[in-house]
Amino acid sequence: MKELVEILAKALVDQPEEVAVTMVEKERSVVIELRVAPDDMGKVIGKQGRIARAIRSVVKAAATKQRKKVVVEII
């Protein structure tokens, strides 16, 4: 799932080398933190948060196979 978020984020931003994804795994949940350059923050969030919501939906769908709850935080 970490790779999925990284690929999606790098495709959206102007500075893909600034994309950093960290994953903290717990018993039944996973927290994925996405960090991008300050100039690219708007591109990852999108108008009214639509792109961020779409990223979370795709990752959630991928996580259902593993029966884990996934939280994507954009920092």
DSSP for 38-75, please give it: GGGHHHHH-GGGHHHHHHHHHHHHHHGGGT-EEEEEE-
For residue 32, the cross-strand partners are 23, 72
Q: What is the per-residue pLDDT for 28?
A: 78
Give the residues of the chain that fall short of pLDDT 70.
none
Domains of the chain by residue range: 1-74
Q: What is the per-residue pLDDT for 1?
A: 86
The CATH code of the domain at 1-74 is 3.30.300.20
Q: Which of 6, 11, 8, 12 is nearest to 43 (CA)?
A: 12
Q: What is the per-residue pLDDT for 66?
A: 80
Q: What is the per-residue pLDDT for 12?
A: 95
